[in-house]
């Protein structure tokens, strides 16, 4: 059974994006079974816990732990990882651990830049901006308190169409096969953006884009990194543009959100019984791919 650590970059605060707000994701992954009926994944879900040195007690022990994957939800204001935390995560991936690392708009989760060359996969406002200067402007015009990058893919509770990049990556295949790609994700009014740093181009690529409903601009949703392509034993990694694709609130708006979220809600997810099929397939594929397993290994 593959062991996955879910981790936020902030200590528990009830009125914040604490790890309990990703419970539907955890429940779904723990429900997946192999052909013989055995469970594929076990989830340990924790918020940040600072030790006496200011390091996270889970992250600094990660390289020597029995976890196979780290799903890191960077929901902080930029200070969510200590230098030792970041170094431990790099050692974890170097010994073969799989990594999902995701954040959201503006400078939210800018601590990911401490992860070295792969951390540069996330673009922010204050540093490591998107390479095209014409993108350095607000895209979500409905919430003036949030600056770029803030691509508007739709309201929370609605759906966005994703655009797979050819060739179709296994992460974006439904169980029906390569001819039937994953096409919809939960939407969010102000998503972040990812890319492939120059130092990782031999083993990284963007596999999916979104499209803004306000400007019509496309933007990168998912970048994948497979060190096996350069004969490295390091673990696979996926940079994902917005943690909202995984959050309970965006899978079921009735479950609520922190009080500081003021954007109007949509109803497309609740109105369509099949609305979550694609995102559920994607996260199952993701857990398998990071574990170096065939993405078709799971079933409900």
pLDDT digit string, tens, across residues 240-297: 999 999 999 999 999 999 999 999 999 999 999 999 999 999 999 999 999 998 776 6
In contact, 217 and 151? CB cutoff 8 Å: yes
The pLDDT assigned to 298 comes to: 62
Q: How many Å apart are CA 282 and CA 104, to the nearest integer?
A: 19
Domain range for residue 115? 2-126+134-297
pLDDT digit string, tens, across residues 75-113: 999 899 999 999 999 999 999 999 999 999 999 999 999
pTM over 0.95: yes
Compute the radius of gyration of the chain from its Cα atoms. Answer: 18
How many domains does the chain divide into?
1
Q: Which two tokens stand for residue 89?
A: 């995560």
DSSP 168: P
Q: What is the CATH number of the domain that holds 32?
A: 3.40.50
Tell me whether strands 204-211 and 163-164 are parallel, antiparallel or unpaired.
Answer: antiparallel
DSSP string covering 14-48, please?
A: TTS--GGGGHHHHHHHHH-B-TTS-B-EEEEEE--
Query: How far from 30 is each of 37, 70, 72, 275, CA to CA, in Å?
Result: 12, 15, 17, 20
Q: How many Å apart are CA 234 and CA 184, to the nearest integer?
A: 30
pLDDT digit string, tens, across residues 143-185: 999 999 999 999 999 999 999 999 999 999 987 554 679 999 9
């Amino acid at each position: 059974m593959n062991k996955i650590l879910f981790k936020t970059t902030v200590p528990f605060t009830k009125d914040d994006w604490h790890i309990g707000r990703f419970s539907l994701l955890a429940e779904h992954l723990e429900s997946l079974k192999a052909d013989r009926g055995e469970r594929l994944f076990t989830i340990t879900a924790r918020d940040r816990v600072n030790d006496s040195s200011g390091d996270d007690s889970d992250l600094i022990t990660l390289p020597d732990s029995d976890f196979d994957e780290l799903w890191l939800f960077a929901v902080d204001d930029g200070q969510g990882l200590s230098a030792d935390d970041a170094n431990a995560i790099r050692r974890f991936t170097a010994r073969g651990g799989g990594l999902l690392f995701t954040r959201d708009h503006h400078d939210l989760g800018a601590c990911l830049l401490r992860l070295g060359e792969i951390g540069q996969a996330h673009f922010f406002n204050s540093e490591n901006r998107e390479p095209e200067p014409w993108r350095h402007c607000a895209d979500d015009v409905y919430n003036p308190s949030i600056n770029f990058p803030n691509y508007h893919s739709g309201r929370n509770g609605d759906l966005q169409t994703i655009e797979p990049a050819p060739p179709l990556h296994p992460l974006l295949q439904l169980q029906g096969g390569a001819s039937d790609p994953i096409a919809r994700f939960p939407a969010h009014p102000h998503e972040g953006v990812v890319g492939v740093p120059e130092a990782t181009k031999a083993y990284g690529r963007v596999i999916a884009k979104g499209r803004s409903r306000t400007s019509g601009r496309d933007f990168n949703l998912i970048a994948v990194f497979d060190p096996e392509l350069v004969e490295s034993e390091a673990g696979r990694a996926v940079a994902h543009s917005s943690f909202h694709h995984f959050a309970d609130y965006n899978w079921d708006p009735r479950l609520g959100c922190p009080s500081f979220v003021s954007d109007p809600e949509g109803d497309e997810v609740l109105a369509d019984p099949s609305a979550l099929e694609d995102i559920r397939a994607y996260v199952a594929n993701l857990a398998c791919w990071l574990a170096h397993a065939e993405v078709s290994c799971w079933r409900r």
